[in-house]
Amino acid sequence: MTIVTFDHYPRFAELTDILHEFAKEFPKLVSIECIGHSHERREIWLLTVTNSETGPAGEKPAFWADASIHATELAPTIAILHLLHTLVAGYGIDPEITRCLDTRAFYLVPRVNPDGAELALADSPRIVRSSTRAYPPDAETPHGHVGGDVDGDGHLRLMRMRDPNGPWKVCPEESRLLVRRDPVEVGGEYYRVFPEGRVHGYDGVTIGLAPPREGLDLNRNFPAQWRLEHEQKGAGPYPGSEPEVAALIRFVASHPNICAGVAFHTQSGVILRPFSHQSDEAFPAEDLWTYQKLGAKGTELTGYPAISVYHEFRYHPKEVITGAFDDWAYNHLGIFGWTVEIWNPQRQAGIPEMKYIEWYREHSIEDDRKMLAWSDDALQGKGYQDWVPFDHPDLGPVEIGGWDSLYAFGNPPPHLLEAEISRFSGWLIWHALVLPRLEFLEATAVAEAPGTWRIRVVVQNTGWLPTLVTKRARDIKAVRGVRCELDLPEGARLVSGKRQEDAGQLEGRAYKSSAPTRRPADPTDDRAKVDWVIVGTAGETIGITASHPRAGTVRTSLILA
């Protein structure tokens, strides 16, 4: 049955119905809960996806994915719905998906910031960065330009107004495009350009850009390297001050089985990893190598380059961002955190090598013409609209046109949505399958003398990553080791060993070199053995539990014979 289609952007009420429908239709695999409320009291839904018959999610290594913390970034929600759909539709059919849900769990938050998305999805949309909470709280009534759908057509484009000292002119070869006026050029017809919107308090001469009334950026509100407002705008009054971010922090920090996670955003068509604020040299080498291997698989499966924010994705070469989800996940929890920026309109238009942020600072008119041709062709002309006169309520006569910022640049237009978001599910399932996984190799009770047994348990990590997941987790002492625990019946007694034995951390296969010639030894450091000697009565049952916060919990029982 079809619960969801990937051809439109649902508002909150429809999204809520879709999510509950999944839980209702697939009760063995999907459960839904509310992990907090947004500023406007909408539910922040979280779905847990795992085969509940092979154990609860909390006892399995888990992968986190969230979406749409930024208000206008709508495609991310659909990427999560696609993963959800892929998992439930593939369970019992696709062996990898089946194994994944039998042995791992997913925690999915399809819309972290439902208030902001609701504004972007309104009939007459409005753009805020993140939360709809006014911030700073004493922000004055805006004076100057404020973005919004001023002509009421449901799209957010650009406004241009004639100005003899404007920086733009009509492109001589393509009258729909604007190009920069030459440095020494005078005497032509020039324009100023603003995003579609109102200009409050316009005096007929000056137009300032009003500071945003809703000035928060929820992806600067996470605790790692969080900075005050005067250093980084939008970070909020203190780390985790915003209810949406607090809900995420609370859930992730209280679920130590989460070993890795992705925050979905738009746009750029790129897989981003930490650090945001410092060079790759600051990584423990193994963590950098592992990030690179995980990212390379992401590139192979999605076509998106995988890069460091610090080295290749900075808004300004002299500035860094801090307080983002992925940096918090890596720095404070020692897990692999990612930011995936969905959609790259330039790449769609045949500009494959565009350099993300730098492109907006400097690119050729040829690129603009390619993009315009792409709009005319692939978007049936809906991406870029020619300029049409509009009688602006504040400015008088202007023209509205240019790119549709929500559904051409910011997000895929609905007819290209499925093709874009369906590329991620395979990588996320693969990523979940590389997580550490605790299993029993052996559990035996051997009679040593009448009434005395030696209990032996051997546990192993069958995952690719070590139980620590990262070297960072070792350095910050984030995770205890494997714990093996004996549950003895009444009357039985331990002769040697402790009821609870610490078996340490177990390695995976992630750090193996690419050839066995240089360091060929493969010690059994993925295994641990615990022996106990007990006194008991034949026929009694001994319970054994082995657990690791990240690698999961396994249980077995032995009958004394």
Binding residues for Zn ion (CB under 5 A): 70, 73, 265
Q: How far is the CB of 106 from Zn ion (least distance, A)?
A: 21
Closer Cβ to Zn ion, 234 or 426, answer by number: 234
Closer Cβ to Zn ion, 265 or 277, answer by number: 265
Report the Cα 265 to chain-centroid distance in Å: 7
Closer Cβ to Zn ion, 59 or 118, answer by number: 118
Number of C-beta neighbours around residue 447 at 10 A: 12
Number of C-beta neighbours around residue 226 at 10 A: 21
Closer Cβ to Zn ion, 67 or 258, answer by number: 67
Q: Which helix (H) or strand (E) holds 248?
A: helix 243-253
Q: How far is the CB of 325 from Zn ion (least distance, A)?
A: 10
Closer Cβ to Zn ion, 309 or 445, answer by number: 309
470 closest CA partner among 259, 279, 273, 275:
259
Closer Cβ to Zn ion, 234 or 549, answer by number: 234
Q: How far is the CB of 201 from Zn ion (least distance, A)?
A: 30
Q: Cα dist. 7→52, 75, 88, 263 in Å?
A: 31, 10, 19, 22
Alpha helices per DSSP H over 145-199: none
Residue 539 token pair: 């026929």
Name the pairing type of β-strands 384-392 and 336-342: unpaired
Q: Which residue is nearest to Zn ion (CB)?
A: 265
Closer Cβ to Zn ion, 72 or 467, answer by number: 72
Q: How far is the CB of 116 from Zn ion (least distance, A)?
A: 11
Contacting residues for 525 by C-beta, under 8 A, at least 6 apart: 506, 507
C-alpha–C-alpha distance, residues 190 and 183, integer Å:
13
C-alpha–C-alpha distance, residues 91 and 384, integer Å:
42
Closer Cβ to Zn ion, 73 or 507, answer by number: 73
Q: Cα dist. 377→373, 380, 410 in Å?
A: 6, 5, 19
Q: How far is the CB of 136 from Zn ion (least distance, A)?
A: 21
Element counts in the chain: helices (H) and strands (E): 14, 24
Q: How far is the CB of 219 from Zn ion (least distance, A)?
A: 6
Residue 481 token pair: 């080791």
Q: Cα dist. 74→16, 113, 287 in Å?
A: 15, 10, 31
Residue 241 token pair: 């001050």
Q: How far is the CB of 265 from Zn ion (least distance, A)?
A: 3
Q: How far is the CB of 69 from Zn ion (least distance, A)?
A: 7
C-alpha–C-alpha distance, residues 74 and 408, integer Å:
12
Residue 326 token pair: 């992925």
Q: How far is the CB of 217 from Zn ion (least distance, A)?
A: 9
- 275: cis peptide before it, omega within 30°? yes
Residue 432 token pair: 């979940």
46 closest CA partner among 222, 218, 250, 343:
250
Q: Cα dist. 126→147, 155, 220, 244 in Å?
A: 7, 9, 21, 20
Number of C-beta neighbours around residue 372 at 10 A: 19
Closer Cβ to Zn ion, 325 or 532, answer by number: 325
Q: How far is the CB of 309 from Zn ion (least distance, A)?
A: 12
Closer Cβ to Zn ion, 82 or 265, answer by number: 265
Q: How far is the CB of 56 from Zn ion (least distance, A)?
A: 32
